Amino acid sequence: MGATTFLYKSDPVRGRQWAEVFRRRAPGLEFRIWPDIGDPAQVRFLAAWEPPPHLAERFPNLEVLFSSGAGVDQFDFGALPPDLPVVRMVEPGIVRGMVEYVTHAVLGLHRDMPRYRRQQQEGQWRPLPVRPAGERRVGVLGLGSLGQAVLAPLVGLGFDCAGWSRSRHAVEGVQCHAGADELPAFLARTDILVCLLPLTDSTRGFLDARLFSMLPQGAGLVHVGRGPQLVDADLLAALASGRIGDAVLDVTDPEPLPPAHAFWRHPCVQLTPHIASMTQPLSAAEVVLDNLRRFEAGEPMLGLVDRARGY
């Protein structure tokens, strides 16, 4: 094979920042931004949010597909060449953004900010008791790169922290729960629930009435996973019954929500337009270059997706 092309198919403005890093750090690699693909036979690596269809026919020598974002749920695995390695984005910029967002959201719920906002709108000056962080139980669904990262400052602030994942983890200062059997106990002790699960067949519709019924009355929800994990009607019912006190939603289904959707104007719902964190081009390009080095050296790439699991 002749020269190697790294093809980028995502936001072109950020792509130019990737290009700069590649030019400096890997001058032998031809970095191209879609739709300027050059010779398709030279494309061995592709970074994309949405890959083009018919990958195998279009790029017969493609060796790795990198997601330009943290999730890979936007990929149709059935349409990808079966043995193509898929790598999700694990980079410090995404982690930092998520840590800021979740810390802010948890602190806001902990210190009753949504309630003070409602009181302000009603012209009410009414102090509520201040609970120490140690009396507030925070629970994080998903103990991956983001779940573990958001827990560190929450532990530091003194919250009573727990996490839940498929396999067992050990995280300092965090009560770790694993698997379906331990989910009810995890939920029963959680005053503020943070969802950082990837979207897969087993997490679609996961935040539903049954799950909400296992939380303490008045629990808070911070949803930063993916929109289709939440059953909207069940959240509205849980808010109406007071099972959930307030919800902070950064992701919805669809995005944006239709103008008439109840979440837009619900007094107990705070919406943000999927901005909890974003891939930072400069650090992302460095991480991908490191993965290319690993790939060429036959070492495992960071963020390699288990396609059977879906994340």
Q: Does 251 bind ligand NDP (CB under 6 A)?
A: yes
Q: Of the candidates 226, 235, 252, 287, which one interacts with ligand NDP according to CB under 6 A?
A: 226
Radius of gyration of the chain (CA): 21
Pick the closer one to ligand NDP by CB: 21 or 150.
150
Q: At what angle do helices 92-110 and 113-121 cross, to 10 degrees?
A: 60
The span from the CA of 70 to the CA of 91, in Å, is 8
Strand residue runs (E) in 187-257: 192-195, 219-223, 244-249
**Region binding ligand NDP by CB under 6 A among candidate stretches 13-21, 75-83, 116-124, 274-282:** 274-282
Q: Tokens at residue 252, please?
A: 């919805």
Contacts of 160 (CB under 8 A, 6+ apart): 133, 134, 135, 136, 137, 138
Q: Is 126 a catalytic residue?
A: no
**Region binding ligand NDP by CB under 6 A among candidate stretches 125-133, 190-198, 208-216, 289-297:** 190-198
Q: Of the candidates 165, 270, 280, 291, which one interacts with ligand NDP according to CB under 6 A?
A: 165
Q: Does 311 bind ligand NDP (CB under 6 A)?
A: yes
Determine the residue type at 185: A
Write down the catalytic residue from 32, 88, 110, 226.
Answer: 226
- Nearest 5°: the CA angle 176, 74, 4 is 105
Q: How many CB atoms lie within 10 A of CB 37?
A: 17
Site string for ligand NDP, 125-154 (x = CB under 6 A): -----------------xxxxxx-------
Q: In this chain, which residue has its C-beta nearest to ligand NDP?
A: 144
Q: Does 166 bind ligand NDP (CB under 6 A)?
A: yes
DSSP-H helix ranges across 30-181: 55-58, 92-110, 113-121, 145-156
Q: Is 104 a catalytic residue?
A: no
* Least Å from the CB of residue 101 to ligand NDP: 7
Q: Does 276 bind ligand NDP (CB under 6 A)?
A: yes
As a dihedral over the C-alpha atoms of residue 112, residue 138, residue 280, residue 11, rounded to 10 degrees, the angle is -80
Write down the catalytic residue from 261, 274, 294, 307.
Answer: 274
Pick the closer one to ligand NDP by CB: 62 or 171.
171
- The residues that touch ligand NDP, with contacts defined as CB under 6 A, are 70-71, 90, 94, 98, 142-147, 165-167, 196-200, 202-203, 224-226, 250-251, 274, 276-277, 311
Residues assigned a catalytic role:
226, 274
